[in-house]
Structure 1
Amino acid sequence: MTVQATTIDALLVGQVGLLPDGRSASGIHKSPAEGALWLSATGLQGDAQADPRIHGGPEKAVHHYPREHCASWASWSRRADLLGSPGAFGENVSTTGWDESNVCIGDVVRLGDALVQVSQGRQPCWKLDVRFGEPGMAREMQSRGCTGWYYRTLEPGWVRGGAQAALVDRAHPQWPLSRLIALLFARDERFAPEWAAAAELPALAERWRRTFGKRVAAGHVEDWEPRLRAPSKDT
């Protein structure tokens, strides 16, 4: 499995704003940046997250989403207005040619002038449902495994739309993101040996390693409902 260098179709950032429900804050609203942005250890200049306990930080400095996924989403969602341009899913980087099947955990990538490393996939939450007005969209993304992925920053640098994204090093070719994402969303306890193996991957974000380790120790899968189901209007 190889992945060729690709071009950053769009580099996107945004500030925190309200979702269409008028009460939920989110940093999912991203717009293409003009010119180069500085990528630090915690993210791109001009980007923000509503809840730093869950989003952003060193293990989620940049979110990358494959542009080609949007075509299949267009047949599922009514929101052609969102899907017609990059940024529908709150991503920072949009490209074509790379997806969860040919990108591996721990891949070191030259992103413009910065050096980054693939740290984990995305765990979609209910805010996607609210943004698109499509109940069950986060659950559908989880089922499809088309979540995109996050990078940690190894070397800060300038990044711009139109710059190249190129693979520099691949330490875990046997661990494409598609495999890890499928394991994370698998409820069958027969996967326990693979959960244990994933928990030992040094390049995997600590939170994911801890999740896999807890499953093995507890013998069951954690409850996903708080992440996937929007809070009621009374809460």
Structure 2
Amino acid sequence: MPSVLAVLSGKAKAYTRPKTFSAIDKRMLTGGIEVNELGLVGDEVGDPRVHGGKDKAVHCYPSEHYEYWKTAIGGKSVLNTPGAFGENLHTTGLTEQTVCLGDQYQIGSVVFEVSQGRQPCWKLNDRFDVKDMALHVQNTRRTGWYFRVLKPGELKAGDAIALRERPYPDWNLYRICRTLYERDVPLTELEQLKALPLPESWARLAERKYSNALNKNNDDFDLSARTDGPARY
């Protein structure tokens, strides 16, 4: 059964570029951890405009991806322990190909719902010292995902991740990301995607992608503000 290998929390600190903050550098926690509707009690975010909130309460990242990244980007020391991607839950037994939008899982006494995949930003570039890391994460669909909290409670490392409901079994996160970011996606696929209960950020992307397809406009979206970030100096 899928399970939680590590639970992690972090404090917001000044980050790598002027006037930026991040809580990506998280530390493993032991014992029972309280979870409320905004996530792990005591966990912080560096930029509340785009991180945190009920739809991004808890970030999960599969341990299975770590070996891929060690090969793809070299022996980065940050990959030697859980938390390299700033995740709250470092998991095993689940990936973007097996997790679907709207899935409900119980971990400990907490009930979660899968709200969306991560939309990787420039902070990963600086975290790993890889110029295009955010795009690499997005293009390989190794994004991890966010949970919203349906029932607060307590969880800990070692807890099983039990699937309770799966309302959209045809829409795993890999498929959704592929539909949002690949070129030449069939209009029918976009229509189906738009009909799903997407969070606001994904709904906007889906609407833009659908509008472009309807008008036979295959121009890529400019995602550089998210993937490249602000000036370094």
Assess same fold via TM > 0.5. Answer: yes
What residue number does 2:226 align with? 227
TM-superposed deviation, 1:79: 4.6
Letter in 2 for 1:38: E
Q: Does 1:213 align with 2:207?
A: yes
Contact 1:199 1:208 in 2 (8 A): no
Structure-1 separation of matches of 2:61 and 2:92: 9
Aligned residues: CA RMSD: 1.7
Alignment of 1:45-84 (within 5 A): 45-84=41-80
What residue number does 1:201 align with? 196
Please list every run of 5 or more consecutive structure 2 residues that lacks an aligned counterpart in the other structure: none
What residue number does 1:32 align with? 28
Please list every run of 5 or more consecutive structure 1 residues that lacks an aligned counterpart in the other structure: none
What residue number does 1:41 align with? 37
Instruction: Give SS of 1:124's match.
Output: coil
Alignment of 1:75-224 (within 5 A): 75-188=71-184, 190-202=185-197, 204-219=198-213, 221-224=220-223
Letter in 2 for 1:6: P
Instruction: Give SS of 1:8's match.
Output: strand
Structure 1 residues 223 and 21, CA, compared in 2 at 3 Å: closer, same or farther?
Answer: closer
Contact 1:42 1:57 in 2 (8 A): yes
Instruction: Give SS of 1:9's match.
Output: strand
Contact 1:21 1:130 in 2 (8 A): no
Structure-2 separation of matches of 1:53 and 1:21: 17
Identical counterparts, % of pairs: 39
Letter in 1 for 2:211: A
More divergent stretch after superposition (66-75 vs 220-229): 220-229
More divergent stretch after superposition (93-102 vs 204-213): 204-213
Instruction: Give SS of 1:86's match.
Output: coil
Structure 1 residues 232 and 216, CA, compared in 2 at 3 Å: closer, same or farther?
Answer: same
Structure-1 separation of matches of 2:126 and 2:18: 10
Structure-2 separation of matches of 1:169 and 1:201: 16
Contact 1:117 1:153 in 2 (8 A): yes
Structure-1 separation of matches of 2:222 and 2:187: 17
- Calculate the TM-score normalised by the size of structure 1: 0.91
More divergent stretch after superposition (77-86 vs 59-68): 77-86
Instruction: Give SS of 2:73's match.
Output: coil
Number of corresponding residues: 228
Letter in 1 for 2:157: G
Letter in 1 for 2:51: H
